[in-house]
Amino acid sequence: MASTIEIEALAAEIGENIYLDIANWHLHLAEARLHTPLAEKLFPLIEDDELSEDAVSKILDSTTIKIGGGKKSLPMTDFLPMKCQVNLMDLLEEFQQNR
């Protein structure tokens, strides 16, 4: 079972290294306060040894970001450059190995 400390450690890694690209502005997930909710969704993949690109993509697609004061919601994948998606997968694999 995941400990709060492990989820917080994963959230910190995600928050520092993964960003949303909006009009060439890089908004790190920690600044957007999206790192902890994302870590909570991703951690079970690590814990249950089900980490795969497909599983991560499904979580990113189902995680929505509200824009325009909540008038519209778009999937997180629409805001993550491919480089960040690759970095996220690498980060998750490394976190799983060091666990």
What are 27-77's pLDDT values in tens digits? 999 999 999 999 999 999 999 999 999 999 999 999 999 999 999 999 999
Please give the pLDDT value at position 40: 97
User: Measured at the alpha carbon of residue 59, what is the angle toward residues 53 and 60, in degrees to the nearest 5?
Assistant: 85
Q: Which two tokens stand for residue 57?
A: 């993509």
Neighbouring-strand partners of residue 73: 66
Q: Is the pLDDT of residue 1 over 90?
A: no
| Per-residue pLDDT tens over the stretch 80-91 | 999 999 999 999
Answer whether 0.75 is exceeded by the pTM: yes
**Residues 6 or more apart whose Cβ sits within 8 Å of residue 73:** 64, 65, 66, 67
Q: Is the pLDDT of residue 20 over 80?
A: yes
- Give the C-alpha separation, 41 to 49, whole Å: 14
Please give the pLDDT value at position 8: 97
At 3, is the pLDDT very low, low, confident or very high (cuts 50, 70, 90)?
confident
